[in-house]
A and B are shown apart, each in its own frame.
Chain A
Amino acid sequence: MTMTDPRNLDDTELDTLFGAARAQAPQASAALLARVAADADAVLADRTAPAPARPGWLAQIVGGLGGWPSLAGLAAASVAGVFIGFAAPSAVETASGGYIAGDGYDVADFLPSYTDALGDS
């Protein structure tokens, strides 16, 4: 056998090789086909599933306040507030410095006076 440079394959010879490779194309396994079909089902299921229902207005308000448990606390506090307003027990009177049921008060009572403000500057 002589060791001259081997002749390159010509087009016909290459075409035969392409033909052989085409005949032995890699196959898709049954497992792959099953996964692909399952993906299709999943995409279809996602698309046809009903959108999650929006909660009603009451549920939205309750949710905003922290759910039903917090609402119980809120209700208790409201009832206590109403009771205190009506009954004006003396303990509250003492704590509030007579503002609630005493001689009455004005908005100005809660504001710093002008002289205080000037004195600070």
Chain B
Amino acid sequence: MPFDAFSEVPDEALLIAFANGDRASAEALTLRLTPKVMGFAVRMLGDRAEAEDVAQEAMLRLWRIAADWRQGEAQVTTWLYRVTSNLCTDRLRKRRGVGLDTIAEPEDGRPGAAHGLLEQARASALEAALADLPDRQREAVVLRHLDELGNPEIAEIMDISVEAVESLTARGKRALARALAGRRAELGYDDD
């Protein structure tokens, strides 16, 4: 399928083309943005099924806003991350009323032929430690170090100052470094 043809086209241009009735643009945006939203939601919620619901809902909101999208005001991805963040926060809040036992364990990294066992162990250990962080710290760390967004964009997504983002990521990283210290051996860090 000719999705490669869209690889150079900015998200916003595709969104506007979609608003004007172009289905191919919607398909290109689906393939480009859904994985990002899904990855973020899985890490925020630690549950694949719930993350899929959130991802679908966030994308639906994008389709619905397309016709009223105001060009140049926000980046499509920033807007989408923000919507996803809010949807995840809502779900996390609702969960607080639910017993911890009912919450699914974070998924281990799926086995992939390209990744060695150590890589897998590292990824799963990190995901597990992330799941134990306070929600806001986890969100900031995921956006900064896994989605690799810049602090100003994260600030916009989380509706806080850049300084607050820096503080959250720093505290999150310190907590991760502490939490994972006991697993040095399985992470392959015992050589020195």
The interface of chain A, by Cβ under 8 A from chain B, is 5-11, 13-18, 20-29, 32-33, 35-37, 39-41, 43-44, 47-48
User: Residues of A contacting B51 with CB < 8 Å?
Assistant: 26
Cα(A43)–Cα(B66), bound, Å = 10
Binding site for A on B (CB under 8 A): 18, 21, 23, 26-27, 29-31, 34-35, 37-39, 42-43, 48, 51-52, 55-56, 59-60, 63-64, 66-67, 107, 109-110, 112, 114-115, 119-120, 122-123, 125-127, 145-146, 148, 173-174, 176-178, 180-182, 184, 187, 189
CB atoms of B18 and A44 under 8 A apart: yes
Find out whether the CB atom of B122 lies under 8 angstroms from the CB atom of A17. Answer: yes
Q: What's the A-B contact tally at a CB cutoff of 8 Å?
A: 129
Which of B21, B52, B126, B189 sits near A44, CB closer than 8 Å?
B21
Q: Please give, as numbers and ranges, the residues of chain A lying within 8 Å of B184 by CB-CB distance.
A: 6-7, 9
Contact indicator A7/B60 (Cβ below 8 Å): no
User: Which of B30, B59, B122 is within 8 Å of A20, CB to CB?
Assistant: B122
Are the CB atoms of A9 and B176 closer together than 8 Å?
yes
**A36→B125 CA distance, assembly (Å):** 31
Chain A interface helix/strand/loop/mixed: helix
Instruction: Return the chain B residue nearest A1 by Cβ.
Output: B185
Determine whether the beta carbon of B189 is less than 8 Å from that of A8: no
Given contacts A17-B122, A21-B126, A47-B67, contact A36 B56 (CB under 8 A): yes
**Other-chain residue from A6, A20, A25, A41 in contact with B182 (beta carbon distance below 8 A):** A6
CB-based nearest B residue for A20: B122
Please state if B181 and A9 are interface contacts (CB–CB under 8 Å): yes
Closest to B114 in A: A23
- Give, as a whole number of angstroms, the nearest-CB distance from A55 to chain B: 28
Across the interface, do A39 and B39 meet the contact criterion of CB distance under 8 Å?
Answer: no
| Residues on B with beta carbons closer than 8 Å to the beta carbon of A10 | 177
Q: Are A39 and B38 in contact (CB under 8 A)?
A: no
With A28-B35, A40-B23, A40-B26 as given contacts, are A21 and B177 in contact (CB-CB < 8 Å)? no
Q: Contacts A25-B39, A41-B23 given: A20-B119 contact, CB under 8 Å?
A: yes
Among residues of B, the one whose C-beta sits closest to the C-beta of A25 is B39
Complex partner residue of A33 from B34, B174, B180, CB under 8 angstroms = B34
